[in-house]
């Protein structure tokens, strides 16, 4: 219930109390219900044309004395269409209110307040959880996928407990992070991607603040957009107990592409090694590491008969379980909600598990006739992860699991340096993580004056994580090298956010509606970590249980501490004239300990205008639009994803061996990383007193349209996001003794279009059919990477484009595939071009290739600059991992109590660098040979220097049936103890249409495909009962 | 919760958070212990992987002592082939490593002087820091000629664009001044891995000798040094004489093996030896120098025969610095430094021969100067020999070029079991100095001085065929790294 309504209600009650009993001529009474017949408490009954009225009680009943039979009564309740009835002869009424399909008065949560959706001037999308039922997800990120235009959610990992990548309107930062801020019930608890503390079952709605007018109120944390989460509170005037249970069964979407025929594998391996000038492996002798490889003959005649399906050894069909029990209750004064969620998830690898328990308690209590409300929220979350997600399903099939394939014998190890035996690792090593989180918040909301409200909210969050590991003396590399190694990593963080703001709400002359809000915010964050390691264990039976048992001379400890403080002032001013013209202005000032002394305070203003054209007579006369609203906004928001302390000088620490022992050495110069080319340390530690946030200016223009009694709704937005002062490292002259320093230098632009179409295609008492289509196109461009010299940019020989490499080296190519290039989208691919395969040495030489590279069967690299030689100058931009557009389609249908929904998700036009295009079981047999002079694949040759080339680039467009859900609602079941029930089946990742040759095209934003295993398909059975 | 309102008004002063997890200029240099730790950080600068091993790429590969293994990177080949450009990564590493160590020394100087510490401590720390500042600048000067002189601590952006010194006179005046001050501040006080007064005298004698011979032989830019060649030689003789005749801590070690015994870093010869130890956790703390000098012999532990017919184990290496025939044949066949300090045959643990240079199992005769029988994997305690008594003996011999010098020269030859030079008759000073330089190659091979000897005597092109055809400037100095030119508007 928003403020205006609350005030109105309050006054209505007062009026009723004072006036209602004076002229009692006809007494009427009755009950007000919703369409399901459930009573509506607190509905207003007003004798039309008078101030005489009443409200319904807890059971929806009312009594009212009206003037005469000719009187009309008006029955209204928020969210329902107002009913008007002539009193006539009746004295008892059963009034069934229809829900307001127009929902114009839907309230949406915005930063530091809420407002009527119709009064919004910014680009805000609201997702009500009731609208996306039975979508199983263990994190809030998954729920958002495909629900909001302009929001891209990538779930590239099927690891248990894995997070997702969430981008709102593209990435606008290189080093400051691109994850949107997440605010839960007013508490900015962190950034999207891995928010495990909030159970999806506890969420009532999510609002995505996309443009600057909406997000600038979050200032230096708003540039990536903001996701506002509202959790479920008490049920409406009743007590409800809800139990839900979901079980998910998963399996691979396709077969694994592994060697099944050891003879073929061995033949091709030998061929490759011989071509490379190496001694072949499969010749029936031991190799340099003492591993015996059988000869082809032994493999063929079955005298070496092992053919292990390692994927069967390593993988399983995982099952997840999600149980939620919630009690929600509301009385006139108090509402509370207690919800517990227990979630267990099996990984597809054996012994790879995730477990989580969330408890969420929420209480709100009203005092002094509702003028004061106090409330609190406590979330406790704990869980653990046993990590075995690195097991070698790709292991050579000629190796048995156990000696002689006999499970009673020892593991079969391939030589003394075999560190990939999956069963040995699972049974002997430790790698677990435990986490605990506590989130608490308390608020007081005081109605100081009818038009003035004060809210203070204090939020606290703490999290702990402990990682335990032990690598035994055999089976692991680290353990072998160190004679056993174990350790414990501890991490602990604390965050306090205290906010107070005043909201003033007033309507003047029935036409001028003002809302003003102003307040302060204080935020304190601290994180500590410690890292204990020990090596060289006498006895391994305790694992890492007693690190002191390791060799005392080899124990190491490390710890770290960070602390940040932020003060903010903020304000918003809304004005609506005549319910037609709207203006919003916001302002936030952030002062952060992370900012340099010369830039301590950041200011983030925004402004927006809106015009409800459908309120104008000339639009009404057209009789086309139910809604026609135009919006325009401009604002500035920031990204303060800077590590703390970059504004401080920072000394380095090392040790120097003096007088027979190590002594601590400390001084200027601190290791900030390792150079990707030389592998040597890079030095920093010089402070930058000018360091500040990244600044994003965003312009947004859009419109909301509704037609055919709001059965068709369209929202269209265009935005332009321009980010300056990109946080980057500049190079310093080597004679300064420093290599790098953090500065603000560089610019990125994102612009795009978002379109949402919602339609109710057909609806009657039994049937309904509708859907929504979302389309987002974002164009990203690196406008500037700062000063060419101080940024150390390289010039592309052919085009003169300035660029730098981004990311890390892919070993197989000894190249970094992605670059940041001025004038190009983020992370385009850079490399050589390939024009088929060299068929003869003459052809190779003619193409400018030399030596091994000119031989038949090699890649025919293109001499792009036509200088007669293939060298680094022949590289160019060869692909773009950013999609041209993303789209999703939701279809929903229901018949009586059955419903079905389908959700298609698609991404179009992105390129993928497929590192597994060659060298895998599936494609090696297709190699070039003298007998198979193909132009599609090169020959097999061990030791070939692979260059990063467009031969490895594939189009990654896909359309996926992400979700199919069939449910049955038990509404009419005549069980007195059961209020509602629902049974559903849900399938995710059911099929994918794509030309991509790897397992799945949904990968990280850098577009590099690393192989791995197929994506999982999940079937979930769920039941939910409310008592 | 009313507190929240109040907090909103707190001034922005509390926006500063004190770093609690690391040291910075806000919380360091409070005590003498801080200053000591900072001093060690300056020494630690010399152990960097980008510095200590890279030294030999410059001094041994570019000279007639070593060539590099064929599949080492192009930047390493460039040193052998005298094709080092300003883009060379190894060159850039060396350059910046000099300045990293210099800045650490400057941090000590700036934070010790006048802080009210005990005068003895202050003098000692200042002396050591001044020594290191000079030592690293001298390295930069030997490699690059006119390179920036950093006279104060750099901790602000506007201090990061140094200029080049005007000429060599300015450079040498700076080096000499630092070392004279260091000599004044320091006492004789041997600590392995650190320096004392004798080290400062030794280094100063080398600075003077470099200037003397470079000016004498017409090395470009050295004509600007004001002092006469004679006076420069005299100063070199004076300071090396101080080392040889005015102290009792360091001395000529009669046992050749002892000098290179990894267990004896405190042997009489070691005026300044870098301290590294195999118990360290990261390269730089421990040393991999042995890996660079020893050839690859199948990846296994091999055994080296000692002069008493016992055996010492070692890992094999990476074959990076490979002995040239020029160097190996520079020794007489009876030279103990050839017969006892080179390895041409390796054995297994039973003492059976695994192979020799003759059968190719040992790719080239390699030095025993960097062998650690107590190696752990790649980790060793093999240390760079930064200033050795024998070196200063030869400095004196060369500088004095008289009968006293001859004694020192013969001393070195005597230990190596090769014939002494009876007297100087019939030899000009130049000719005797030439003999000393040749002796220096044999005595100090693999110790990181050969290229400097060739450069200061202007004999690079005479000794290294790959350097033929280069300009005198290109022979005498490596180019200032491109990265410096790109990023420093004051240098172009």
How confident is the model over A336-367, as pLDDT tens digits? 899 999 999 999 999 999 999 999 999 999 98
Contact B193 A499 (CB under 8 A): no
Do A825 and A782 contact (CB within 8 A), yes or no? yes
pLDDT over 50 (residue A842): yes
d(CA B213, CA B469): 22
Statement to judge: residues A7 and A115 lie in one domain: no
Residue written as token pair 């009385």? A331
Burial class (CB in 10 A: 0-12, 13-18, 19+), B425: exposed
**How many structural domains are present in chain A?**
4
Please name which of A834, A672, A824, A634 lies closest in space to residue A748, comparing C-alpha atoms.
Answer: A824
Please name which of A61, A9, A16, A13 lies closest in space to residue A40, comparing C-alpha atoms.
Answer: A61
Last residue within a domain, chosen from A269, A301, A333: A301
d(CA A151, CA A50): 49
* pLDDT for residue A118: 82
pLDDT over 50 (residue A14): no
Per-residue pLDDT averaged across A289-307, rounded?
Answer: 90
* pLDDT for residue A780: 93
> Which of A535, A733, A745, A872 has the highest number of chain B CBs within 10 A, making it the mutation to test binding with B?
A733
Can you read off the two tokens belonging to residue A204? 């009532």
Distances (CA, A) of A258 to A271, A396, A405, A523, B113: 18, 9, 20, 52, 69
A668: chain B residues, CB-CB within 8 Å: 103-104, 107, 153-155
Statement to judge: residues A902 and A1003 lie in one domain: yes
* pLDDT for residue A958: 96
Share of chain A above pLDDT 90, in %: 56
pLDDT over 70 (residue A7): no
Contact A593 B10 (CB under 8 A): no
Per-residue pLDDT averaged across A126-151, rounded?
Answer: 76
Q: Which residue has the higher pLDDT, A316 or A676?
A: A316
Do A271 and A277 contact (CB within 8 A), yes or no? no
In a domain, A866, yes or no: yes
Contact B103 A481 (CB under 8 A): no
Statement to judge: residues A181 and A82 lie in one domain: no
Tell me what percent of chain B is helix, strand and coil, each rounded to the nearest 5. 50, 10, 45
The model's pLDDT over A77-119, given as tens digits with 9 standing for 90+, comes to: 766 777 888 888 888 888 888 766 544 467 888 889 888 888 8
Confidence band of A22 (pLDDT split at 50, 70, 90): very low
Last residue within a domain, chosen from A43, A68, A96: A96
Statement to judge: residues A873 and A938 lie in one domain: yes
pLDDT over 50 (residue A9): no
* pLDDT for residue A379: 93
Do A462 and A492 contact (CB within 8 A), yes or no? yes
Cα angle at A393 between A391 and A399, to 5 degrees? Answer: 105
d(CA B447, CA B206): 15
* pLDDT for residue A138: 65
Contact B154 A680 (CB under 8 A): no
Do A484 and A474 contact (CB within 8 A), yes or no? no
Distances (CA, A) of A38 to A59, A238, A1025, A1026: 9, 11, 18, 15
* pLDDT for residue A74: 83
> Which of B483, B484, B489, B490 has the highest number of chain A CBs within 10 A, making it the mutation to test binding with A?
B483
Statement to judge: residues A839 and A987 lie in one domain: yes
Distances (CA, A) of A651 to A559, B113, B168, B286: 16, 20, 33, 22
Domain borders along chain B are: 289-378, 387-459
pLDDT over 80 (residue A560): yes
Nearest 10 degrees: CA dihedral of A504, A505, A509, A512? Answer: 90
d(CA A88, CA A689): 79
In a domain, A942, yes or no: yes
Contact B488 A735 (CB under 8 A): yes
Distances (CA, A) of A266 to A307, A405, A908, A981, B378: 12, 20, 39, 58, 34
d(CA A488, CA A545): 9
Statement to judge: residues A286 and A139 lie in one domain: no
* pLDDT for residue A18: 40
- Chain B contact present for A565, CB below 8 A: yes
Buried (b) or exposed (e) across B38-77, using 16+ Cβ within 10 A?
Answer: bbbbbbbbbbbbbbbbbbbbbbbbbbbbbbbbeebeebbb
* pLDDT for residue A88: 81
Contact A666 B377 (CB under 8 A): no
* pLDDT for residue B313: 95
Do A584 and A121 contact (CB within 8 A), yes or no? yes
A185: CATH: 2.170.130.10
- In this predicted structure, which of A136-145, A522-531, B328-337 has the lowest mean pLDDT? A136-145
Per-residue pLDDT averaged across A651-674, rounded?
Answer: 92
pLDDT over 60 (residue B240): yes
B147: chain A residues, CB-CB within 8 Å: 735
* pLDDT for residue A286: 85
Distances (CA, A) of A959 to A610, A618, A953, B340: 36, 43, 19, 74
A493 has which bridge partners? Answer: A463, A527
* pLDDT for residue A36: 65
* pLDDT for residue B219: 96
The model's pLDDT over B170-179, given as tens digits with 9 standing for 90+, comes to: 999 999 999 9
Do A112 and A570 contact (CB within 8 A), yes or no? yes
Please name which of A447, A443, A514, A575 lies closest in space to residue A11, comparing C-alpha atoms.
Answer: A447
pLDDT over 90 (residue B299): no
pLDDT over 60 (residue B9): no
Statement to judge: residues A54 and A122 lie in one domain: no
What is the ipTM score, two decimals? 0.94
Do A409 and A364 contact (CB within 8 A), yes or no? no
Please name which of B391, B127, B132, B433 lies closest in space to residue B244, comparing C-alpha atoms.
Answer: B391
Going by C-beta distance under 8 Å and a sequence separation of 6 or more, which residues neighbour residue A172? A178, A223, A224, A639, A694, A696, A721, A723, A748, A750
pLDDT over 70 (residue A23): no
For chain B, the average pLDDT equals 93
Statement to judge: residues A948 and A838 lie in one domain: yes
d(CA A164, CA B253): 68
pLDDT over 70 (residue B6): no
pLDDT over 60 (residue B398): yes
d(CA A208, CA B342): 74
> Candidates 3.40.50.620, 1.25.40.900, 3.40.1280.10, 3.40.720.10; correct CATH number of B387-459?
1.25.40.900
Q: Chains A and B: how many Cβ contacts under 8 Å?
A: 226
Per-residue pLDDT averaged across A911-936, rounded?
Answer: 93
* pLDDT for residue A949: 94
Statement to judge: residues A92 and A139 lie in one domain: no
The model's pLDDT over A375-414, given as tens digits with 9 standing for 90+, comes to: 999 999 999 999 999 999 999 999 999 998 899 999 999 8
Per-residue pLDDT averaged across A241-265, rounded?
Answer: 92
d(CA A142, CA A905): 12
In a domain, A492, yes or no: no
* pLDDT for residue A3: 44
* pLDDT for residue A12: 43
In a domain, A590, yes or no: no
* pLDDT for residue A24: 46
Q: What are phi and psi of B153, to 5 degrees?
A: -60, 135
* pLDDT for residue A30: 85
- Chain B contact present for A945, CB below 8 A: no
Do A161 and A903 contact (CB within 8 A), yes or no? no
Contact B487 A521 (CB under 8 A): no
Please name which of A411, A505, A643 lies closest in space to residue A7, comparing C-alpha atoms.
Answer: A505
Nearest 10 degrees: CA dihedral of A652, A657, A662, A668? Answer: -10
CA A307 to centroid of chain Cα atoms:
41
Quote the DSSP letter at residue A474. Answer: T
* pLDDT for residue A11: 43
Cα angle at A779 between A778 and A783, to 5 degrees? Answer: 140
Statement to judge: residues A847 and A968 lie in one domain: yes
- Residue A835, Cβ neighbours under 10 Å: how many? 14
What DSSP line would sit under B365-379, residue for residue? -EESTT--TT-BTTB
d(CA A888, CA A452): 43
CA B281 to centroid of chain Cα atoms:
23
Per-residue pLDDT averaged across A412-421, rounded?
Answer: 89
Contact A680 B49 (CB under 8 A): yes
- In this predicted structure, which of A764-778, A946-960, B85-99 has the lowest mean pLDDT? A764-778
**Minimal Cα–Cα distance from A874 to chain B, Å?**
20
A230 has which bridge partners? Answer: A205
* pLDDT for residue A132: 67
| Predicted TM-score (pTM) of this structure | 0.85
- Residue A376, Cβ neighbours under 10 Å: how many? 16
Which is it for the CA torsion A292, A298, A299, A302, positive or negative?
Answer: negative
Per-residue pLDDT averaged across A682-697, rounded?
Answer: 93
For chain A, the average pLDDT equals 88
Statement to judge: residues A1003 and A901 lie in one domain: yes
Confidence band of A133 (pLDDT split at 50, 70, 90): low
Range of the structural domain that residue A294 is part of: 261-301
Residue written as token pair 């506007």? B158
Please name which of A561, A533, A564 lies closest in space to residue A547, comparing C-alpha atoms.
Answer: A533
In a domain, A352, yes or no: no
Per-residue pLDDT averaged across A456-471, rounded?
Answer: 95
Can you read off the two tokens belonging to residue A483? 């004679």
> Which of B6, B30, B44 has the highest number of chain A CBs within 10 A, making it the mutation to test binding with A?
B44
A61: CATH: 2.60.40.4130
CA A918 to centroid of chain Cα atoms:
32
Statement to judge: residues A837 and A983 lie in one domain: yes
* pLDDT for residue A521: 93
Contact A688 B148 (CB under 8 A): no
């Amino acid at each position: 219930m928003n403020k205006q309504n609350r005030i109105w209600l309050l006054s209505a009650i007062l009026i009723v109390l004072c006036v209602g009993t004076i002229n009692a001529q006809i007494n009427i009474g009755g009950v007000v219900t919703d369409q399901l017949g459930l009573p509506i408490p607190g509905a207003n009954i007003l004798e039309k044309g008078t101030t005489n009225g009443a409200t319904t009680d807890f059971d929806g009943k009312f009594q009212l004395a009206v003037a005469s039979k000719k009187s009309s009564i008006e029955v209204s309740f928020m969210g329902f269409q107002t009913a008007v009835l002539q009193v006539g002869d009746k004295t008892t009424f059963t009034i069934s209110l229809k829900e307001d399909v127009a929902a114009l008065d839907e309230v949406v949560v915005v930063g530091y307040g809420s407002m009527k959706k119709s009064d919004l001037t910014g680009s805000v999308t609201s997702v009500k959880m009731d609208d996306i039922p039975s979508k199983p997800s263990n994190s809030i990120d998954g729920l958002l996928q495909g629900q909001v235009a302009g929001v891209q959610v990538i779930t590239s990992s099927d690891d248990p407990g894995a997070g997702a990548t969430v981008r709102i309107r593209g990435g606008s930062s290189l080093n400051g992070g691109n994850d949107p801020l997440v605010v839960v019930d007013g508490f900015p608890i962190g950034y999207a991607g891995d928010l495990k503390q909030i159970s999806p079952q506890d969420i009532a709605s999510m609002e995505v603040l996309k443009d600057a007018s909406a997000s600038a109120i979050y200032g230096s944390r708003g540039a990536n957009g903001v996701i506002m989460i509202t959790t479920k509170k008490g049920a409406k005037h009743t007590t409800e107990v809800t139990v839900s249970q979901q079980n998910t069964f998963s399996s691979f979407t396709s077969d694994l592409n592994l060697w099944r025929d050891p003879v073929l594998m061995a033949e091709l391996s030998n061929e490759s090694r011989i071509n490379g000038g190496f001694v072949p492996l499969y010749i029936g002798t031991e190799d340099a590491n003492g591993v015996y490889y059988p000869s082809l003959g032994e493999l063929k005649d079955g005298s070496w008969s092992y053919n292990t399906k390692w994927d069967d050894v390593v993988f399983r069909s995982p099952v997840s379980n999600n149980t939620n029990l919630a009690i929600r209750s509301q009385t006139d004064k108090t509402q509370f909600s207690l919800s517990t969620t227990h979630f267990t998830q099996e990984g597809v690898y054996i012994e790879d598990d995730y477990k989580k328990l969330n408890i969420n308690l929420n209480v709100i209590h009203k005092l002094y006739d509702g003028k004061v409300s106090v409330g609190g929220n406590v979330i406790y979350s704990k869980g653990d992860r046993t990590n075995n997600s690195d097991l070698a399903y790709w292991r050579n099939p000629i190796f048995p699991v156990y000696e002689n394939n006999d499970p009673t014998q020892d593991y079969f190890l391939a030589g003394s340096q075999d560190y990939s035996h999956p069963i040995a690792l699972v049974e002997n090593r430790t790698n677990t993580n435990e986490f605990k989180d506590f989130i608490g918040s308390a608020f007081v909301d005081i109605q100081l004056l009818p038009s003035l409200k004060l809210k203070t909210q204090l939020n606290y969050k703490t999290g702990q994580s402990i990682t335990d590991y032990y690598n035994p003396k055999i089976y692991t590399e680290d353990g072998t090298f160190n004679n056993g190694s174990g350790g414990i990593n501890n991490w602990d963080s604390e965050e306090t956010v205290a906010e107070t703001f005043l909201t003033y709400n007033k309507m003047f002359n029935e036409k001028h509606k003002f809302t003003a809000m102003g307040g302060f915010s204080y935020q304190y964050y601290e994180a500590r970590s410690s890292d204990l390691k020990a090596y060289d264990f006498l006895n391994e039976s305790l694992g890492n249980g007693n690190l002191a048992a390791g060799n005392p001379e080899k124990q190491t400890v490390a710890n770290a501490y960070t602390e940040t403080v932020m003060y903010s002032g903020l304000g918003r001013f809304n004005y609506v004239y005549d319910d037609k013209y709207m203006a919003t202005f916001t302002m936030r000032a952030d002062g952060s300990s992370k900012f340099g002394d010369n830039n301590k305070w950041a200011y983030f203003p925004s402004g927006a205008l809106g015009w409800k054209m459908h309120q104008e007579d000339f639009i009404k006369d057209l009789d086309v639009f139910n809604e026609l609203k135009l919006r325009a906004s401009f604002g500035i928001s920031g990204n303060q994803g800077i590590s703390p302390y970059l504004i401080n000088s920072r000394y380095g620490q090392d040790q120097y061996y003096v007088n027979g022992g190590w002594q601590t050495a400390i001084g200027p110069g601190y290791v900030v990383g390792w150079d990707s080319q030389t592998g040597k340390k890079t030095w920093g530690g010089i402070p930058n007193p000018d360091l500040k946030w990244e600044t994003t200016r965003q312009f947004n223009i859009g419109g909301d349209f509704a037609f055919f009694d709001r059965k068709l709704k369209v929202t269209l937005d265009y935005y332009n996001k321009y980010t300056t002062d990109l946080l980057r490292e500049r190079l310093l002259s080597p004679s300064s003794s420093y290599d790098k320093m953090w500065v603000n230098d560089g610019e990125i632009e994102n612009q795009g279009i978002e379109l949402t179409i919602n339609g109710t295609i057909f609806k009657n008492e039994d049937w309904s059919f509708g859907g929504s289509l979302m389309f987002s196109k974002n164009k990203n461009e690196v406008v500037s990477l700062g000063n060419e010299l101080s940024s150390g940019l390289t010039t592309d020989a052919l085009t003169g484009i300035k660029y730098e490499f981004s990311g890390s080296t892919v070993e197989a190519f000894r190249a970094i595939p992605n670059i940041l290039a001025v004038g190009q989208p983020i992370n385009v691919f850079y490399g050589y071009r390939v024009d088929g395969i060299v068929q003869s040495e003459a052809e190779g030489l003619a193409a400018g290739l030399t030596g091994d590279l000119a031989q038949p069967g090699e890649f025919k690299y293109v001499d792009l600059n036509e200088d007669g030689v293939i060298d680094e100058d022949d590289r160019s931009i060869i692909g773009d991992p950013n999609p041209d557009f993303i789209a999703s389609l939701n279809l929903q249908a229901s018949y009586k109590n059955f419903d079905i929904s389908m959700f298609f998700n698609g991404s179009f036009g992105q390129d993928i660098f497929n590192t597994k295009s060659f060298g895998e079981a599936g494609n090696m047999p297709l190699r070039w040979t003298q007998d198979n002079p193909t132009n599609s694949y090169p020959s097999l040759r061990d030791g070939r220097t692979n260059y990063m080339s467009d031969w490895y680039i594939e189009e990654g467009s896909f359309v996926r049936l992400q979700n199919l859900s069939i449910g049955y609602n038990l509404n009419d079941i005549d069980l007195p103890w059961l209020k509602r029930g629902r049974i559903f089946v849900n399938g995710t990742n059911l099929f994918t249409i794509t030309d991509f040759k790897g397992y799945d095209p949904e990968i990280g934003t850098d577009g590099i495909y690393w192989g791995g295993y197929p994506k999982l398909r999940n079937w979930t059975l769920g039941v939910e009962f409310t008592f | 919760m009313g507190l929240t309102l109040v907090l909103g008004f707190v001034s922005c002063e509390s926006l500063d958070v004190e770093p609690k997890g690391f040291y910075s200029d806000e919380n360091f240099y409070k005590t003498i212990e801080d200053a000591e730790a900072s001093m060690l950080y300056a020494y630690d600068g010399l152990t960097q992987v980008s510095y200590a091993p890279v030294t030999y790429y410059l001094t041994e590969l570019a000279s007639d002592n070593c060539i590099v293994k064929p599949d080492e990177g192009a930047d390493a080949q460039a040193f052998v082939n005298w094709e080092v450009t300003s883009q060379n990564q190894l060159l850039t590493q060396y350059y910046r490593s000099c300045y990293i160590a210099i800045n650490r020394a400057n941090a000590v100087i700036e934070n010790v002087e006048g802080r009210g510490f005990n005068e003895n401590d202050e003098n000692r720390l200042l002396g050591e820091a001044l020594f290191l500042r000079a030592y690293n600048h001298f390295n930069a000067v030997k490699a690059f000629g006119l390179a920036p002189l950093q006279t104060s601590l750099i901790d602000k952006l506007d201090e990061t664009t140094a200029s080049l010194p005007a000429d060599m006179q300015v450079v040498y005046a700076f080096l000499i001044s630092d070392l004279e001050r260091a000599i004044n501040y320091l006492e004789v006080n041997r600590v392995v891995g650190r320096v004392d007064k004798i080290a400062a005298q030794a280094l100063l004698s080398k600075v003077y000798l470099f200037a003397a011979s470079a000016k004498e032989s017409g090395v470009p830019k050295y004509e600007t040094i004001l002092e006469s060649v004679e006076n420069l030689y005299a100063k070199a003789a004076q300071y090396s004489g101080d080392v040889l005749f005015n102290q009792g801590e360091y001395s000529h070690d009669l046992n050749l093996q002892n000098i290179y015994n990894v267990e004896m870093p405190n042997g009489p010869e070691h005026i300044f030896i870098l301290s590294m130890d195999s118990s360290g956790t990261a390269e730089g703390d421990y040393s991999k120098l042995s890996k660079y000098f020893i050839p690859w012999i199948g990846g296994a532990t091999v055994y080296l025969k000692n002069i008493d017919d016992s055996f010492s184990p070692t890992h094999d290496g990476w074959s990076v610095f490979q002995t040239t025939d020029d160097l190996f044949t520079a020794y007489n066949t009876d030279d103990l430094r050839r017969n006892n300090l080179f390895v041409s045959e390796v054995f297994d643990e039973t003492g059976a021969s695994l192979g020799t240079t003759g059968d190719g199992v040992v790719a080239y005769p390699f030095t025993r100067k960097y062998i650690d029988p107590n190696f752990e994997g790649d980790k060793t305690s093999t240390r760079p020999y930064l200033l050795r008594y024998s070196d200063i003996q030869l400095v004196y011999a060369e500088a004095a070029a008289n009968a006293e010098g001859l004694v020192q020269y013969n001393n070195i030859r005597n230990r190596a079991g090769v014939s002494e030079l009876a007297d100087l008759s019939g030899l000009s000073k130049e000719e005797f100095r030439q003999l000393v330089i040749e002796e220096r190659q044999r005595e100090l091979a693999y110790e990181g001085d050969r290229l400097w000897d060739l450069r200061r005597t202007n004999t690079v092109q005479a000794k290294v065929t790959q350097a033929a055809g280069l300009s005198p400037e290109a022979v005498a100095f490596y180019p200032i790294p491109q990265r410096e030119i790109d990023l420093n508007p004051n240098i172009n």
